[in-house]
Structure 1
Amino acid sequence: MAEIQQKGGDSGKGGKKRAKKMSTKIDMTPMVDLAFLLLTFFMLTTTFAKPNVMQLTMPVKDKKPNPDEQTKIKASQAVTIILAPDNKVFYYFGLNEPTDKSVPVPEIKVTDFSANGIRKVLLDRQKQQPEPIILIEPYVFDGKQAKYKNMVDILDEMNITNQKKYALVDISKKDVDLIKTQKLL
């Protein structure tokens, strides 16, 4: 607590009496205790920022996948997005698996991750086809591969554009050949 300490009397000589100088000493212990109590109180009563993560539901992996049980996709609903090296995004509408020769080979278009890039493509496709199915294929071939950041970016775009159905699939040999024939890489 605060106390007042007194110094000894006068110098012993006669003369004018002076007022005694008093010094004060303040004990800081209660203030430090209060500060730590407040600090502890606020630390325990606040909520910490929760990590912002996107929930992904992954299917159960079968030991031996049966090709007959795989989900069939209509070509009219499909949009294939290929994540390419150098932050490029290739896309085409439909599937690159024509069952007959009369179906033309799809034309790959190039875009990027900007707001006027793949987001605009997805939103426009959603207006044309209310429930599109997006196939996301990361490019991994000839020592070149898409970056992990691009995968995160495209999943963010799926969330932003409110896509209901999308799948991460391995790139097919036909898609690699299609990219090479159109000389995009």
Structure 2
Amino acid sequence: MAEIDSSGGGKKGGKKRSKKMSTKIDMTPMVDLGFLLITFFMLTTTLAKPVTMQLNMPDKTDTKETSPVKLSESLTVCPDENKVYYYQGIPTEAGTVMQVTNYSETGIRKVIADMKAKVGNNFTIVIKPTKKAKYRNMIDMLDECAITNNKRYALLEIDPDTEALIKRSGK
């Protein structure tokens, strides 16, 4: 592993000098140990498991069986880029009021939790993302449904009536 060279150099006449000792260290075992440790830690580590969201899709059947949803038990949510529009009712009726909130705990999560507490388990969320909404906004809305333990929601394209209601609200 390690060698000590005790030769004092060449033999020339004259003064006697002290012998200089040089050392050589064989690094092969150290490199082997390093690779063994790297291999050990690579094989024993746990990698991050991907986090997925459970998304229930309806069966692909030819029968168009729909169940009616009461307007008093539903909330239409329109995620936008930085805010969330929501209303209850039909967008073409005069009494429908568009409200706006954000994606925080005191924003849309509180609105959903309050509505679910008021309505009960039959509460349904209709999600209609606006044209400016990003993919992240849609995921945030699905996360809010999961956080509030709401299993009844529907994803729809935004209709012109809802877009007109958003423009009329001026928010």
TM-score norm. by structure 1 comes to 0.78
- Equivalent residue, structure 1, for 2:69: 73
Alignment of 1:103-114 (within 5 A): 105-114=95-104
Q: What's the CA shift for 1:30?
A: 0.6
Q: Which runs of 5+ in 1 are unaligned?
A: none
Report which stretch shifted further, 103-112 or 31-40: 103-112
- Equivalent residue, structure 2, for 1:134: 125
Alignment of 1:80-119 (within 5 A): 80-84=76-80, 86-93=81-88, 95-96=89-90, 105-119=95-109
Alpha-carbon distance between aligned partners in 1 of 2:71 and 2:114, rounded to the nearest angstrom: 17
- Equivalent residue, structure 1, for 2:23: 24
Instruction: Provide the alpha-carbon RMSD of the alignment.
Output: 2.5
Cα shift readout 1:89-123 (whole Å, capped 9, x = no counterpart) = 11112x3179xxxx863211111112221111112
Q: 1:61 to 1:178 in 2, by over 3 A?
A: farther
Alpha-carbon distance between aligned partners in 2 of 1:179 and 1:25, rounded to the nearest angstrom: 80
- Equivalent residue, structure 2, for 1:160: 147
Cα shift readout 1:127-152 (whole Å, capped 9, x = no counterpart) = 21222111101123xxxx32222112
- Equivalent residue, structure 2, for 1:2: 2
Aligned residue-pair number: 169
Alpha-carbon distance between aligned partners in 2 of 1:148 and 1:83, rounded to the nearest angstrom: 10
1:146 aligns with 2:142: no
Q: 1:155 to 1:70 in 2, by over 3 A?
A: same
Cα shift readout 1:59-87 (whole Å, capped 9, x = no counterpart) = 2445x673xx1231122210110123x42
Between Structure 1 and Structure 2, the one with more strand by share is 1
- Equivalent residue, structure 2, for 1:170: 157
Q: 1:65 to 1:89 in 2, by over 3 A?
A: farther
Q: 1:8 to 1:19 in 2, by over 3 A?
A: closer
Alpha-carbon distance between aligned partners in 1 of 2:158 and 2:63, rounded to the nearest angstrom: 17
Q: Which runs of 5+ in 2 are unaligned?
A: none
Q: 1:121 to 1:128 in 2, by over 3 A?
A: same
TM-score norm. by structure 2 comes to 0.84
SS in structure 2 of the partner of residue 7 of structure 1: coil
Q: Output the amino acid matched with 1:179.
A: I
Alpha-carbon distance between aligned partners in 1 of 2:102 and 2:54, rounded to the nearest angstrom: 24
Contact 2:8 2:21 in 1 (8 A): no
